[in-house]
Structure 1
Amino acid sequence: MVVIGAGFGGIAAAAALLRAGFTDVVLLERASSLGGVWRDNTYPGCACDVPAPLYSYSFAPNPLWSRRFPPHSEILTYLREVAEKLDIARKIWLGTEVVEARWVEGSVAGGHWLIRTADGAEIEADVLVPAVGQLTKPVVPSLAGADRFEGPAVHTARWRPGLPVEGRRVGVIGTGASAIQLVPAIAGVAAHITVFQRTAPWTLPRPDRRYGAGRRFAYRHLPVLMSLPRAGVWAMTVVTGRALLGRRWSQTFVRTVSTVQRRLQVRDPALRARITPDEPMGCKRVLFTNRWLPTLARPDVSLVTDKIVELTADGVRTADGAHHPCDLLVYATGFAASDLVTPLRIVGRGGVTLDNEWRDGAYAHLGMAVPGFPNLFLMYGPNTNTGNTSVIYFHECQAGYVVQAVRRLAAGAQPLAVRREVAAAYDAEIQRRLSGTVWTACQSWYRNASGRIVTNWPGMASEYRRRTARLDPADYEPV
């Protein structure tokens, strides 16, 4: 069994398989260390925006978190320690980039995957689990004059150690999850920060707090206590999740909290008007922060809402004709989340590539199984992104499903290929349900070129767990 990727999704799959007694597992990781998105994102202020009790594996609670919303370094350390403790680390082949995986018909087992790496090596596997995630390909907008800008320009996901910020005029393009962490972290260090906003995000207070030595001592000696904050965070995500799905009482409550936060933290009515969202809540990710709004009100921070026209040698020119001088330019512009598994080439039955199968947009039964691609199960695949809870919860659901598939194969079942009509019916249901949510009004953010929403899950996380709890053999056909 081969898992591609050693981030939270890949580690979850490997952990589930090992705990189920399947030791013939290899993880192929193109980077020089494990960690996925938490290895790649090292910008100042980088931290989790989901409370730690839920942003961790249920089978590996961590008594050592320093706070409810831990910084990047603690999350990466946690993931590495889980990999070591569960003996996963020694099964990871670092520096191994997969360029192609091809289904080969006709072996004794009915077929297998032939995996080719960038250095020309070939690996055979009965089961293939791509766990490359949705946050691997940074988006850098195409701006006129980008080649003329003379200062450093960097995406937040490619932050370089030692990048000079102190005393610099910094331009930050974007107001998403990374920007609302970066800007407060460097405000007061940079000479001036200019934030270029396309649309204002919805925000909510971040209920952060430090975890004292007494709490950590209690968690170490009575691990059952850690289930209490996890349950509390889960309850909170139910409220925010129902709000995003249009439940009137939840949405009214959450919108009211957000409105009060803006009024209390931004006294200037003109600035407050510019940071008030004009799209429905949920069009972009709702951001938990206590520092973003006050930072925008600082005298050394400017908010620009006019469209960027071009970059110059020393700054940014906007549609109003103003020139905004910058020494350092930061793209806080997110990821191409709908470009799943690229640039990896996956070839299924009959030589059909996954790119071709997904030519009108990615889809998969339960976000994992694709017709024509036997014994392939995606982690964090199409329509499994959650806007209200921890993606790790979804990872564990998917890992449990993979274990069920492997058990059937180990018992002598033929390769598992999801029936096309099953996958089509599931996809039609998901798209229909998504069309009745807030994301319908936000197609510029969520829809791909074909008009499909390929990332988001339309329901509550508890529904996804129910639907993945049991693999139905009738969903699959013999190969």
Structure 2
Amino acid sequence: MQTTTPRKKPAARKSAPAKSVSPTEVLEVAVIGTGFSGLGMGIRLKKAGITNFKIFEKASEVGGTWRDNTYPGCACDVKSALYSYSFEPSAEWSNAYANQGEIFSYIRFCAEKYGMYPHIQFNSKVVSGKFDATAGEWELTLDGGEIIRAKNVVAAPGPFAEPSVAKIDGINDFKGIKIHTARWDHSVDLTGKRVALIGTGATGVQVGPAIAPKVAHLTVFQRTPNWIMPRPNRDRTDAEKQESRENPLKMRVDRLKNYWINEATAPFLILKYDAFKSFPAKMSHSYLERKVKDPVLREKLTPKYKFGCKRVLVSSDWYPTLQRDNVTLEDHGIKRITETGIETVDGKHYELDVIIFATGYEVRSTGAPFEVRGLNNESLGERWKDGAEAFDGITTHGFPNLYFLVGPFTGPGHTSVIAYSEAQIDYVWQAIELRRARQLKYITVKAEVEAEFVKIMDQRSEHTVWKSGCASWYLSPNGRNNTLYPGFNAEYRMRILRFNPSSYTLVGQDGQPVKATFKDHLSTVRMALTA
């Protein structure tokens, strides 16, 4: 009988991290970031026999957002079976929805198992990249001044990397303790404290229930109520874990089941039309009515925008938390922060010991993740100043051999982000292999091909609920959706199943364009079928 080995939490790193790159060395691939996407890219390269690559990580450990976010209650709102690599299912999840600690442990386990640590250069933030068209190489500059040269660059910085700082008058006047959920201070004991929680999005509805039992009083400052669905989380028994260890096929079946259930929900979460909105809205509102009997509180918690326009939250303990004797929901806007607390627009003043900012992240819909200059010294930041754009969410015209994972238009609106990134990883691998096989200087997507894809994304986005009138982090400042994919994940995976050389300009070592051959197409078909 085939079995899987129980996963143990890595107590210490067995393999040393990568050493700095030699000044004369040219990497085949430079990967930026060690979250799920960056590590997945490294694992894919190594499986394909490409070993001349390095992953550059700004921090001192892998994990991305699951390393940085350690606030109480931090967990995933996608089921564990799907929020993990398809090639490394785990039998060890304690719950249906994994918490931060387990996900972080899983990522480190994968990095160790697949030999990623020797390829990772930690404490190495990439601050700029410039393409050398003569050599067909990228020159990356690290924040310490080190210069890295690489033929291909894969950027996987992650969308939830930098905290969003609230713009509130008097924010620097408060004499108490201030904590942002993305940079949680574990030295602070909240027991018996008067605490404010600013923000009721996905982070707020997790941290609030986790801290409410220990604080003296929790005041929740809500700007906009959210649509909420119950989170049917439960502990997995030892017997269930053992069954999964002994039957890996069952884990894969569970993953597929969860994947297609999520796909079935896509029209209800994505499309703006009432025919798709009435049923889930009624479910959510019914859940609110069952859990909140006070009509005044229930009215405060009732959204006034279409279901799905903002992120739909999953929580089974948010509503009970708001009805605790030591919790107050304040839906009047904040006028200013004072030395001792918070004053609302209606004149109330709350005396506080601690203010927690659950105000989210600086999700980049415009500009580049770092300074990037491509052909003819063109700035990617300038190109993307009004909104990030990329063909298939992966490549941008004029910036050769540069690939983004979970880039523009490819965020998940209804399913696991890993379902998108794994498909993109295979696509990028095909591009890198084609360049190596043909000994090309560089590959860049054709301008008209990218423009057509962007046009399709814009047209399809007009039919989505994200464009139905509410403000959300999904949209750029000009109201455009540059973030989420307006469709099924399965359809997107089919779209990028094969790297199509005809969509790209292939440039040979002499600097001249070369035509894609039948052999090139056959090669990418073969890679797509064997990925």
Structure 1 residues 294 and 48: CA distance shift in structure 2, 3 A = same
Amino acid at match of 1:228: V
Q: Distance in 1 between matches of 2:369 and 2:48?
A: 31
Deviations 1:336-381 (A, max 9, x none): 2125675521111111111011122101001110111000000111
Q: Distance in 2 between matches of 1:24 and 1:191?
A: 55
Between 1:114-123 and 1:75-84, the stretch displaced more is 114-123
Query: What's the counterpart of residue 405 of structure 2?
Result: 379
Residue 454 of structure 1: how far off its partner (Å): 1.3
Superposition map of 1:454-469 within 5 A: 454-469=482-497
1:317 aligns with 2:317: no
Residue 242 of structure 1: how far off its partner (Å): 1.6
Q: Is the contact made by 2:367 and 2:382 (CA closer than 8 Å) also made in structure 1?
A: no
Amino acid at match of 1:104: D
Aligned length: 476
Query: What's the counterpart of residue 333 of structure 1?
Result: 359
Residue 228 of structure 1: how far off its partner (Å): 2.6
Q: Distance in 1 between matches of 2:349 and 2:257?
A: 48
Superposition map of 1:78-477 within 5 A: 78-107=106-135, 111-246=136-271, 251-339=277-365, 344-412=370-438, 413-442=440-469, 444-445=471-472, 446-477=474-505
Amino acid at match of 1:295: T
Between 1:273-282 and 1:13-22, the stretch displaced more is 13-22
Structure 1 residues 12 and 173: CA distance shift in structure 2, 3 A = same
1:69 aligns with 2:121: no
Amino acid at match of 2:65: V
Amino acid at match of 2:481: I
Deviations 1:119-164 (A, max 9, x none): 1111111100010011112111211111111111121101112222
Between 1:9-18 and 1:245-254, the stretch displaced more is 245-254
Q: Is the contact made by 2:79 and 2:97 (CA closer than 8 Å) also made in structure 1?
A: yes
Query: What's the counterpart of residue 37 of structure 1?
Result: 65
User: Secondary structure of 1:478's partner?
Assistant: strand
User: Secondary structure of 2:329's partner?
Assistant: strand
Q: Is the contact made by 2:305 and 2:470 (CA closer than 8 Å) also made in structure 1?
A: no
User: Secondary structure of 1:148's partner?
Assistant: coil
Amino acid at match of 1:18: K
Q: Distance in 2 between matches of 1:414 and 1:174?
A: 49
Residue 462 of structure 1: how far off its partner (Å): 0.7
Amino acid at match of 1:101: G
Deviations 1:293-322 (A, max 9, x none): 111111111111111110011111111111
Residue 97 of structure 1: how far off its partner (Å): 1.1
1:46 aligns with 2:74: yes
Residue 253 of structure 1: how far off its partner (Å): 2.9
TM-score normalised by length of structure 1: 0.97
CA RMSD of aligned residues (A): 1.4
Structure 1 residues 443 and 367: CA distance shift in structure 2, 3 A = farther
Between 1:453-462 and 1:17-26, the stretch displaced more is 17-26
Q: Distance in 2 between matches of 1:407 and 1:137?
A: 33
Q: Which has the larger radius of gyration?
A: 2
Structure 1 residues 249 and 230: CA distance shift in structure 2, 3 A = farther
Deviations 1:57-111 (A, max 9, x none): 100101111111111100000001011111112211111111111100212xxx1
Residue 441 of structure 1: how far off its partner (Å): 1.8
Q: Answer 1 or 2: higher relative contact order, Cα 8 Å, separation at least 6.
A: 1
Q: Which runs of 5+ in 1 are unaligned?
A: none
Amino acid at match of 2:229: L
User: Secondary structure of 1:147's partner?
Assistant: coil
User: Secondary structure of 1:216's partner?
Assistant: helix
Q: Is the contact made by 2:69 and 2:182 (CA closer than 8 Å) also made in structure 1?
A: yes
Q: Distance in 2 between matches of 1:443 and 1:405?
A: 38
Q: Which runs of 5+ in 2 are unaligned?
A: 1-28, 508-531
Amino acid at match of 1:359: K
Query: What's the counterpart of residue 523 of structure 2?
Result: none
Between 1:402-411 and 1:237-246, the stretch displaced more is 237-246
Q: Is the contact made by 1:134 and 1:339 (CA closer than 8 Å) also made in structure 2?
A: no
TM-score normalised by length of structure 2: 0.87
Structure 1 residues 340 and 60: CA distance shift in structure 2, 3 A = farther
Q: Distance in 2 between matches of 1:15 and 1:60?
A: 11
